[in-house]
Chain A
């Protein structure tokens, strides 16, 4: 049962071959058995999940089921869910019981999905390895000495180990796509503004975007159908007609122009990843796509610009954690300023503090033009690179990450090395473009390799169709890590 698609599970639920309570119980049993070795979940609440499953079964019995009704979904612990502890991977929020639901949570609830539990993540989504979490690192199900990627590493590991049929994550610089790649699953970051940020704990507001993580492109489409939509409470939510992302999955790829950026295949890309991606490109050509060599000349500047813009926005967003209205407060302090300083020093972990310091500095008097404004100009150049490229091609394909999953502890002491892992993913966030990652083979150590499929604004359906066509012809996405049976 663990390898069934959402569509198959939905059909079984509809035909009463399986109840949502049974499905949820089987996921909870797998979590109890396998998660102690993975640490993918921060909070599991069987009673709450099973209550939702019973409600879903009632909806199904009443003939009022939607595609996700009764399906358990794991939530990255960044999405506020009413009555659930929502920690964002931080000591700062270790006891935060959310009094409200994120828009995405409301939408999944309305779709009848079951909240299976809250997944581990890099603290405040700041990381590329899910090692900076207050609740300990997540292990990669393919090799437990390696990281699962991050920051949505708990969601990625949960889907990879078949603890959950699907999960939700957030992507500020690659935090859905990179863990999807390193954990051998699929993940999609939509066009900025497609999924509401309301109730998604803010990291860098002009870059943050929620999205689905699942075993296949088809499952991603069903999840995105439920997650996307206008929400007036997010000032950057886009008002557009609802789109059925699953409707266009049957299009042949004949004539599709796939752009392959020269800059993504240079120094820094591991040979095993390059080989797997090349093989995937050949498969796309076999399916009728035409390969076009393109250039994204400013892509090398995307990591430097990102590590100005994201920390700047983070330093502003995280100023709300002051130990007054919610969150951690230091037990002892001399006065109000001391209470702020001690609460934040004790409540935030090292990487979060580092980024707040970077952000504070680049926004401070006298440095704004040299850093923040300069980064925003480079952001424009990067968006212009993509605009030019999409004149020559329909989608851009390449590696999601420079290498397969690395060892736990290998990069955590060197922030710059950790940041450079984001080299192929951050540009989509800076430009606000949609991008996804799907499994396309295995590299060093038998670890999964991710293929990034990026598109122009609002081309999620086209990207999902291309990924689905590839997955009809290949079986990389069906591989399950050993030891998770």
Chain B
């Protein structure tokens, strides 16, 4: 089922990736090629097959409820694009 140009733009918005009209048109062709490949999945009947999310049937481990991490926020913020007073700066979201 081919993707329309508005659908490509909607997906790009959902993914928070800016896309120009020219790029969206190019992506449309490539994505439809990829979905052509993916459509081959429909050739097999999977009724009653249990979906497999993971290779190993592992259960989530629980750990003791105690502090295990040291405070390293100063180190971590050295690689942030913009910080001030220990806070990450972003454009204003509330007027």
Contact = CB atoms under 8 A, between A and B. Distances in A.
Contacts of A192: 55-56
Interface string B33-77: 111111111111010011111111010110100000000100110
Interface in A331-364: 333-342, 344-345, 348, 353-354, 356-358, 360-362, 364
A376 interface: yes
A305 B51 contact: no
| Majority secondary structure, B binding face | loop
B80 A324 contact: yes
Given A345-B17, A354-B31, A308 B41 contact: yes
| Majority secondary structure, A binding face | helix
B76 A360 contact: no
Nearest to A323: B81
Nearest to A206: B54
Interface in A320-334: 322-329, 333-334
B34 A419 contact: yes
A99 B72 contact: yes
Given A348-B17, A361-B11, A431 B38 contact: no
Contacts of B60: 235
A430 to B, nearest CB: 8
Nearest to B83: A325
Contacts of B55: 191-193, 206, 383, 430-433
B90 A336 contact: yes
Contact of A378 (B35, B36, B39, B41): B41
Interface residues of A, number: 72
Given A304-B40, A325-B88, A378-B44, A238 B56 contact: yes
25 contacts: A96-B79, A193-B56, A206-B53, A303-B37, A304-B39, A304-B41, A326-B76, A326-B79, A329-B82, A333-B91, A336-B90, A338-B18, A344-B16, A344-B17, A344-B18, A345-B17, A345-B19, A354-B31, A362-B38, A371-B38, A380-B52, A381-B46, A416-B33, A430-B55, A433-B55
For the side of the interface on B, what is the size category? 35 or more
A353 B17 CA distance: 8
Contact of A232 (B46, B61, B88): B61
A38 interface: no
Given A336-B90, A432-B55, A432-B56, A377 B19 contact: no
A337 B16 contact: yes
B15 A307 contact: no
Closest 9 CB pairs of A and B: A432-B55, A376-B51, A329-B81, A377-B46, A345-B18, A380-B52, A341-B18, A192-B55, A377-B49
Interface of B: 3, 7-8, 11-19, 27, 30-31, 33-44, 46, 49-56, 58, 60-61, 63, 72, 75-76, 78-82, 88, 90-93
A378 B46 contact: yes
B58 to A, nearest CB: 6
A352 to B, nearest CB: 10
A255 interface: no
A97 interface: yes
A287 interface: no
A341 B81 CA distance: 16
B12 A357 contact: yes
Nearest to B46: A377
Interface of A: 95-97, 99, 191-193, 206, 232, 235-236, 238, 298, 300-301, 303-305, 307-308, 315, 319, 322-329, 333-342, 344-345, 348, 353-354, 356-358, 360-362, 364, 371, 373-381, 383, 414-416, 419-420, 430-433
A416 B34 contact: yes
B44 A298 contact: yes
Contact of A99 (B3, B50, B79): B79
A371 to B, nearest CB: 7
A373 B72 CA distance: 40
Pick the most buried of B18, B53, B61, B78: most chain A CB atoms within 10 A of its CB: B18
A35 to B, nearest CB: 27
Given A341-B17, A378-B46, A381-B46, A415 B34 contact: yes
B75 to A, nearest CB: 5
Contact of B58 (A236, A340, A415): A236
A371 B31 CA distance: 14
A358 B80 CA distance: 29
Nearest to B1: A370
Contacts of A315: 15
A97 B16 CA distance: 25
Nearest to B82: A329
Nearest to B55: A432
